[in-house]
Chains A and B, each alone.
Chain A
Amino acid sequence: MVEWVQEIVDKFKFVFLEKDRWLLIAEGLKVTLLVTFLALLLGLVIGMLVAIVRTSHDQMKKDNVRGVARIFLGIMNGICKVYLTVIRGTPVMVQLLLMYFVILVSAESEITVAVMTFGINSGAYVAEIFRSGIMSIDKGQMEAGRSLGLSYVTTMTKVILPQAIKNVLPALVNEIITLLKETSICGAIGLSELTRGAENIQSATYEALFPLLMVALIYLVIVMMFTALMSKIERRLRESDLR
């Protein structure tokens, strides 16, 4: 029994402590968090813009508005639709490789490539989440805002979006978790993120179980902490309006 425990401790020391190999994991974690965070920001911005273009275009079409604005929005809407179709219709791994070897071939760092790829990829999913959130708001809210003389944009930002975002928070949390875990494929473009850190330890020590288990545990703990934080925020938000 004691022998068995000792064996594990020795192996742990060998895998992680010898030659400071744990640093590979720590550095990898930093990269993973950085890429996830920046990609998330990019994804939220893209997603919000696309969602607003799509919904306002559909609204204008319904209201039968004509003129330059309608034509402009029509073109923007077309671009958004192509974007959504292509991004959601192809594997993110292929997108990553295309970015690395073709589109952003002159980019300085792998981090830039990863952030761009995952930001653009996540934006497509976030856009649909925001759009469903906007559509979930009763149309009377927009009418009330407009009847008070507020512009479409003001009503959108002050009335519709705050409610829509609150409604889609769980879906958004889901997307962020997916994003975090998906960045684990960035090793394919030579980025030393968390999973790649485990792989590097594995090839140095010929030990697979320990490094992979450690990395799995780290992902799990991050996700659990993040989920707990978000449910706290969600509860706080619900309290304020007692619907």
Chain B
Amino acid sequence: MIYVNNLSKSFGDHLVLNNVSEHIAPGEKVVIIGPSGSGKSTFLRCLNLLEQPTSGEITFEGQLITDKKADINKIRQQMGMVFQHFNLFPHLTILDNIIMAPVHLKLMTKAQAKEEAMRLLEIVGLTEKANAYPGQLSGGQKQRIAIVRSLALKPKVMLFDEPTSALDPEMVGEVLEVMKGLAKDGMTMVVVTHEMGFAREVADRVLFMDEGIIYEQGTPEQIFSSPVNERTQKFLRAVL
């Protein structure tokens, strides 16, 4: 589904991604772990071109999206992204947050979008918040809405950048539940997280990243129980 070929990214002369190649298969759940500043976010943000790669190629569903002529807005509609800080639109109600993109992009009529929004809100248990504003919601609720907002575009892949890192501990569970549900429905997911429990349970594959390089990857079993790379071992000792 997504092919990454020799991807590099520098900020100034700071090389953050160092010649990364990777393939994400349809339906696959990939979890990326690694120390702070290792380039996890940058890698994820390159996938939907929120960051412009310095060099390398990314192909999504057979389309070379790093090509200058690629219609990046069209591509992003098919790649949902969930941020650490939710980034809901504070001046719009929850319902308007959700239906704004599908209606504006003319993917649905307003009535269709509302219906779809309510269906998704039902799934995450927040129908009664449809007319509230983001400022009236808890962090966990906001993040569930942010997931719904992405899903309203019916994306083919969902990218998560530390979706639970900004949450109070008691709210982490409700967001992870939604993500697990999504995984069970067969969504292709790339998740940057420090939630090792989630990685163990949901991931088909875990990538360990450090200094802009994927040092090691494998099933959760391989990575967590018998990591080969010294850096992986050191990192896991520190976080587990």
Contacts and interface: CB of A to CB of B under 8 A. Distances in A.
A interface, by DSSP: helix, strand, loop or mixed? helix
A144 B84 CA distance: 11
Nearest to B75: A149
Nearest to B50: A143
A117 to B, nearest CB: 35
Given A242-B135, A242-B136, A150 B105 contact: yes
A241 interface: yes
Nearest to B84: A140
A139 to B, nearest CB: 9
Interface string B11-55: 000000000000000000000000000000000000010101000
A166 interface: yes
A242 B149 CA distance: 21
A138 B133 contact: no
Contact of B91 (A65, A145, A241): A241
A144 B89 contact: yes
A186 to B, nearest CB: 38
Given A147-B48, A147-B50, A159 B136 contact: no
Given A63-B52, A242-B136, A243-B135, A148 B153 contact: yes
Interface string B47-83: 0101010000000000000001000011111011101
Interface string A56-70: 000000011101000
Interface residues of A, number: 26
Contacts of B80: 147
A163 B100 contact: no
B141 interface: no
A174 interface: no
A63 to B, nearest CB: 6
A63 B72 CA distance: 15
A162 B48 CA distance: 26
A180 B19 CA distance: 60
Interface in B76-115: 76-77, 79-81, 83, 85, 87-91, 100-101, 104-105
A205 interface: no
Interface string A3-37: 00000000000000000000000000000000000
Given A149-B76, A149-B105, A150-B73, A143 B135 contact: no
A240 interface: yes
Contacts of A163: 89-91
Given A140-B85, A144-B87, A166-B91, A240 B73 contact: no
Contacts of B135: 241-243
A240 B133 CA distance: 8
B83 A243 contact: no
Interface of B: 48, 50, 52, 68, 73-77, 79-81, 83, 85, 87-91, 100-101, 104-105, 133, 135-136, 146, 149-150, 153
Nearest 4 Cβ contacts at the A-B interface: A149-B77, A144-B87, A148-B101, A140-B87
Given A65-B52, A241-B91, 20 more contacts: A67-B68, A140-B87, A144-B87, A144-B89, A144-B146, A146-B76, A147-B76, A147-B79, A147-B150, A148-B76, A149-B74, A149-B153, A150-B104, A154-B104, A159-B89, A163-B89, A163-B90, A163-B91, A240-B133, A241-B90
